[in-house]
C-alpha cells in the first residue's frame, strides 16, 4: 500500500514539473554546421524548439537551388535541474546547394497552442567547388595521398582520322573510373560539333575494361558525325565534372551517420579530353554523275506505282523508298527521266524519314511519295528512275537505275467544268430554311409532385447515417492523431508519407528547368528526384543505393519487373542527358520528365 502511495506521489510530482515547464513560452532557434559551403557539398541545418515536446514539424522554406538530401531527423532531450524541467527538440536536415551565391535561410515559423513563433535566419555563402587533386582529409585531421588520375579519367576518340565530306564518323566519349568508386553529380559538356551534323547512337554503353592491370568501369557515349566542310578540322576537348564520394572514419562511428548518408565526403573532380584532329576530303570530280545530289554512304532503292491503269489526267502515286547506311535525312529526291517532258505532269514529292538502327551507325530509310499525271493515252511506261550516291569505302560513285514500270492510259471522255462562282448567287445569299418545329410538353398533373413513400427520417439509411456518423468522426480523429504522432516520432513513416509531395515539388522545379532550356541542370535534378523518392519510400540513406544495386533492392521489396525497367530507362536517359546536354531538345526533356512521373506513380501503387 505504501509503495502505491509513493508511486502516485512521484507521478503527481513529475507531472507538476512537466506542466510547469510547458506553461512557459517556447523558443525556436536555427543554426547550421557551416556558413560557407562549396557547390555540391553537404550542409547540415538544425531547427531547435526549446520548451515543448509536442509541437508540429516547423515549416522551413530553403532556397530553390538547395536540394534536400535527408530529413527531418527528430531528436528529443529532457533535463531536470533544481526541479526545473528543460525540454529540447531538434529537427535536422541535410541540404546540398547547386549554385553559387549568397543565400538566406529562414526565419522558420511554428504555430503552437494558438501562437506563432519565429526563429532567427542564417546567411549561407556558396562558392565554386575546388577541384580535387591528390589529398583528402582523414577522420582525425590527417591527410591521405590518392593518385586520382588512376581512379578516374576520360577519353575522346573517332573511328577514323580521314574522311570524305558527308561521310559518317563515329565519335566516342569514354569515362573510366575504378570499380567501387561512388560518383555523384555527373556533368558532361560535349565537344562542339558546329562543323558537323550530329546524330546520337543508341543508349549509353556500360562495361568493364582492364587498363595497366587495373579494372575500370566504363561509360561510353557514341555520336555519329557527318562533316559539312572540307579541310583540317579540330574537334575541341569534351569536359566532364563530378563528385567522388570517399568514405571516412567518423569520430563517433555512429550508425546514424551511415543511415543518414553522412559516412562519406564529396570531392569535386574535373576532367578534360584531348582534342581530335580530322582531315576532311572533297568528293572527287571525276566520274561524278549529273544527277548526284550529295548522298554519301551505301544505299538501295525500291519503287512502287499505283494504280497502273488510269485515264488521261488521273493521278498516279509513285513511291520511291531509299534505304541504307549514311546520313539518310539529307538524301535528295531520285530523278525521273520521261521520254518527253509533255508526257507527264509532275508534282512535288512528300518525304518521310525513319531511322531504323542507331547501333553501330546510322541506318534508315527515306520514302518519297510523288504524284504524276499522264497527259495522253499513248503513254505505256512510267518514267525511268535513277539515284546516284558516293560509296566512301570503294571511293567511287554509283548509280542505281530502276527500269520503267508499264502502265495503261485510257482516253477520258468526261470534262468537268470549273465554276468560279455559283449561279444566282444573290438569291442564295441570306436564305434560311426552317427544318422542323418543336412543341414542349405541358405538365398538368400537379398531384404527381407530392411526396411519395415514407418520410426521410423513417428511412433505414437515414437512421444508420445518424448512428454511424459519430463513430466515423471519432475513428477519423483517432487516425489523424495517430498519424500526427507517427510523423513526429517515426522518421521512416514520415519520409514515406511525405515522399510523394516532395517528389511532386521537385518535378515542378524540373519542369521550370525545361522551360528555361537548361538540360544539364534538368537531368541532374530529375535523377536526384527519382533516387530521393526511392530512398524516402524505403527509408534508406541516399548513399546506400546506386544504379548497380537499386534493381535488387526494389525487387526484394516486391516491385514488379516492369516498374524496375521504367526506372532503368529513366536513369539512363538522365545520365545521357547530363553527358550530352548540348544535344538535348525540349521535346526529349519533356519525354524524360513524363517517364519519371509515370515511374513515381507506379511505384506509389506498389510500395
Q: What cell does 9 get?
A: 506521489
Task: For domain 135-281, give the CATH number.
Answer: 2.60.40
- What mean pLDDT is predicted for residues 376-386? 90
Q: Compute the distance between CA of residue 292 and CA of residue 391 in angstroms, rounded to an integer.
A: 12
Any idea where the domains of the chain sit in the sequence?
Answer: 2-127, 135-281, 297-410, 490-606
Evaluate whether 2-127 and 490-606 have a shared fold: no
Q: Compute the distance between CA of residue 370 and CA of residue 317 in angstroms, rounded to an integer.
A: 6
CB burial string 542-554: b at 16+ within 10 A, e below: bbebeeeebeebb
Q: What is the CATH superfamily name and number for domain 297-410?
A: ntegrin, alpha v. Chain A, domain 3 (2.60.40.1510)
Q: Compute the distance between CA of residue 416 and CA of residue 316 in angstroms, rounded to an integer.
A: 19
pLDDT at 438 over 50: no
Give the pLDDT of residue 456: 61
pLDDT at 523 over 50: yes
> What's the pLDDT tens digit per position in 237-247?
999 988 887 76
The residues that bridge with 276 in the sheet, in sequence order, are 235
Average pLDDT, the chain: 80
Q: Compute the distance between CA of residue 171 and CA of residue 158 in angstroms, rounded to an integer.
A: 4
pLDDT at 174 over 90: yes
Give the pLDDT of residue 430: 42
Give the pLDDT of residue 50: 85
For residue 523, what are the contacts with CB-CB under 8 A and spacing of at least 6?
A: 573, 574, 575, 577, 578, 581, 584, 589, 592
The DSSP symbol for 302 reads E
Q: What cell does 248 get?
A: 571516412
pLDDT at 214 over 50: yes
Give the pLDDT of residue 514: 83
Domain 2-127 class?
A: mainly beta
pLDDT at 583 over 80: no
pLDDT at 169 over 70: yes
Q: How many residues does the chain have?
A: 607
SS3 content of the chain, % helix, strand, coil (to 5): 30, 35, 35
More confident residue, 543 or 74: 74
| Candidate from 124-133, 421-430, 540-549, 555-564 with smallest mean pLDDT | 421-430
pLDDT at 139 over 50: no
What is the chain's Cα-based Rg?
37
pLDDT at 166 over 60: yes
- Output the CA–CA distances (angstroms, integers) from residue 313 to 25, 303, 339, in the order listed: 95, 21, 18
Distance, C-alpha 470 to centroid of its chain: 47
pTM, to two decimals: 0.50
Give the pLDDT of residue 213: 81
Fold of the CATH domain 490-606: 1.20.120
pLDDT band at residue 350 using 50, 70 and 90 as cut-offs: very high
Query: In angstroms, how far is the first alpha carbon of the chain from the final one?
Result: 52
Residue 295, exposed/middle/buried by CB under 10 A (0-12, 13-18, 19+)?
buried
Amino acid at each position: 500500500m505504501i509503495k502505491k502511495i509513493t508511486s502516485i506521489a512521484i507521478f503527481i510530482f513529475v507531472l507538476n514539473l512537466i506542466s510547469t515547464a510547458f506553461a512557459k513560452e517556447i523558443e525556436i532557434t536555427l543554426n547550421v554546421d557551416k556558413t560557407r559551403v562549396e557547390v555540391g557539398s553537404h550542409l547540415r541545418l538544425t531547427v531547435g524548439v526549446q520548451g515543448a515536446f509536442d509541437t508540429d514539424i516547423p515549416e522551413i522554406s530553403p532556397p530553390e537551388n538547395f536540394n534536400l538530401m535527408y530529413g527531418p531527423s527528430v531528436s528529443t532531450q529532457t533535463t531536470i535541474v533544481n526541479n526545473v524541467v528543460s525540454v529540447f527538440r531538434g529537427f535536422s536536415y541535410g541540404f546540398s546547394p547547386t549554385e553559387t551565391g549568397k543565400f538566406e535561410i529562414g526565419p522558420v515559423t511554428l504555430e503552437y497552442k494558438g501562437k506563432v513563433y519565429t526563429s532567427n535566419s542564417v546567411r549561407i555563402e556558396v562558392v565554386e567547388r575546388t577541384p580535387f587533386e591528390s589529398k583528402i582529409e582523414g577522420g582525425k585531421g590527417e591527410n591521405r595521398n590518392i593518385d586520382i588520375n588512376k581512379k578516374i579519367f576520360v577519353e575522346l576518340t573517332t573511328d577514323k582520322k580521314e574522311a570524305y565530306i558527308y561521310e559518317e564518323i563515329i565519335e566516342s566519349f569514354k569515362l573510366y573510373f575504378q570499380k567501387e568508386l561512388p560518383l555523384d553529380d555527373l556533368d558532361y559538356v560535349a565537344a562542339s560539333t558546329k562543323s558537323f551534323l550530329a546524330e546520337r547512337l543508341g543508349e549509353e554503353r556500360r562495361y568493364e575494361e582492364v587498363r595497366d592491370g587495373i579494372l575500370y568501369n566504363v561509360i561510353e557515349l557514341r555520336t555519329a558525325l557527318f562533316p559539312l566542310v572540307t579541310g583540317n578540322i579540330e574537334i575541341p576537348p569534351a569536359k566532364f565534372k563530378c563528385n567522388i564520394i570517399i568514405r571516412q572514419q567518423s569520430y563517433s562511428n555512429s550508425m546514424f551517420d551511415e543511415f543518414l548518408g553522412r559516412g562519406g565526403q564529396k570531392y569535386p573532380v574535373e576532367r578534360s579530353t584531348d582534342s581530335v584532329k580530322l582531315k576532311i576530303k572533297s568528293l572527287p570530280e571525276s566520274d561524278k554523275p549529273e544527277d548526284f545530289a550529295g548522298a554519301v554512304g551505301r544505299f538501295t532503292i525500291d519503287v512502287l506505282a499505283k494504280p497502273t491503269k488510269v485515264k488521261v489526267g488521273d493521278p498516279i502515286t509513285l513511291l520511291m523508298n531509299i534505304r541504307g547506311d549514311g546520313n539518310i535525312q539529307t538524301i535528295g529526291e531520285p530523278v525521273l527521266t520521261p521520254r518527253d517532258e509533255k508526257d507527264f505532269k509532275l508534282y512535288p514529292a512528300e518525304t518521310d524519314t525513319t531511322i531504323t538502327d542507331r547501333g553501330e551507325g546510322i541506318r534508315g530509310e527515306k520514302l518519297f511519295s510523288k504524284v504524276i499525271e499522264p497527259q495522253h493515252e499513248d503513254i505505256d511506261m512510267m518514267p525511268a528512275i535513277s539515284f546516284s550516291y558516293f560509296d566512301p569505302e570503294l571511293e567511287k560513285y554509283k548509280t542505281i537505275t530502276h527500269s520503267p514500270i508499264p502502265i495503261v492510259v485510257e482516253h477520258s471522255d468526261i470534262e468537268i467544268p470549273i465554276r468560279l462562282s455559283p449561279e444566282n448567287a444573290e438569291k442564295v445569299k441570306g436564305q434560311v430554311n426552317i427544318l422542323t418545329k418543336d412543341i414542349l410538353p405541358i405538365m398538368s398533373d400537379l398531384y404527381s409532385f407530392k411526396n411519395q413513400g415514407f418520410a426521410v427520417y423513417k428511412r433505414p439509411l437515414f437512421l444508420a447515417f445518424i448512428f454511424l456518423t459519430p463513430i466515423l468522426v471519432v475513428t477519423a480523429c483517432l487516425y489523424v492523431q495517430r498519424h500526427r504522432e507517427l510523423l513526429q516520432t517515426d522518421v521512416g513513416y514520415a519520409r514515406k508519407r511525405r515522399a510523394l509531395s516532395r517528389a511532386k515539388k521537385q518535378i515542378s522545379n524540373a519542369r521550370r528547368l525545361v522551360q528555361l532550356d537548361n538540360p544539364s541542370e534538368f537531368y541532374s535534378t530529375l535523377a536526384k528526384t527519382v533516387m530521393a523518392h526511392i530512398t524516402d519510400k524505403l527509408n534508406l540513406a541516399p548513399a546506400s543505393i546506386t544504379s548497380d544495386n537499386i534493381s535488387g533492392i526494389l525487387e526484394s521489396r516486391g516491385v514488379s519487373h516492369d516498374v524496375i525497367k521504367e526506372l532503368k530507362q529513366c536513369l539512363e536517359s538522365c545520365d545521357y542527358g547530363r553527358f550530352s546536354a548540348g544535344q538535348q531538345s525540349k521535346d526529349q526533356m519533356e519525354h524524360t520528365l513524363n517517364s519519371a512521373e509515370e515511374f513515381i506513380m507506379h511505384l506509389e501503387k506498389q510500395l
